Amino acid sequence: MSGSRGKGGAAAILAAALSFFPACAVPAADDIPRKAAACVVCHGPGGNSTDPATPSLAAQPAQFISMQLYLFREGNRKDAQMTPIASDLSNAEMNELAAYFSRQKPAAPSHKTAPGNAAAGRRLAEQYHCVQCHGPALLGLQHIPRLAGQRFAYLKTQLRGFKAGTRFDMDGNMTSAAQPLSDADIEVLADYLAGMK
């Protein structure tokens, strides 16, 4: 934990950062992919984001992370930060980063769901089919992301993007799912999901 096992500066910094989050499982320093150092600057130590607009990566399905990196690199999904970062990643590096972040323990959510929204949000998640693809506990699988405990502002941005048809969508399912949602529904749904463990 002291960072003395870190082989490079980046790994040592990461290990030091992790030490402030005792709840995190800290992997052996040499398990941390070199390029993960750049990810955790925004996505947080161990992929647990503390920035409202930046998604958490911890415990996301590996295939989901790889695929998003791939979509950023190929220009299907576009983002001012992510596009340049993904542009020089190899497939092997993407898989390595994905495997690493998928292994990390998710931190307890800092977001507190408003009273009443837990039940209302659950109803919306069932009514609008979220649970059919993201799983009953919203933990994601394969290429489908985990929503439980995701950042509140990020969830809203994505849902609004899908609703507006501006967010890249591989098969149109998310656009179909988001279009019947009202702005108020998005608020309640994101509030529910962001507070989930």
Minimum Å distance from CB 112 to another protein? 29
Minimum Å distance from CB 107 to another protein? 21
Stretch binding another protein (CB under 8 A), from 11-19, 39-47, 117-125, 171-179: 171-179
Please give the C-alpha separations between residue 98 and each of 58, 91, 108, in angstroms, as whole numbers: 10, 10, 21
Question: Residue 5, CB half-sphere, CA atoms under 13 Å: how many?
Answer: 10
Stretch binding another protein (CB under 8 A), from 20-28, 46-54, 106-114, 140-148: 140-148
The yes or no reply on residue 93 touching another protein (CB under 8 A) is: no
| CA dist., res. 91 & res. 70, Å (int) | 8
Minimum Å distance from CB 146 to another protein? 11
Hey, which residues between 45 and 84 contact another protein (CB under 8 A)? Answer: 61, 63, 76
Do 140 and 193 meet the contact criterion of CB atoms below 8 Å apart? no
Minimum Å distance from CB 175 to another protein? 4
The yes or no reply on residue 175 touching another protein (CB under 8 A) is: yes
The residue among 46 and 61 lying less far from another protein, judged by its C-beta, is 61
Hey, which residues between 102 and 131 contact another protein (CB under 8 A)? Answer: 129
Q: What 8-state DSSP symbol labels residue 30?
A: G
Among residues 155, 163, 131, 189, the alpha carbon closest in space to that of 53 is found at: 155
Residues 6+ apart with CB under 8 A from 77: 68, 71, 167, 168
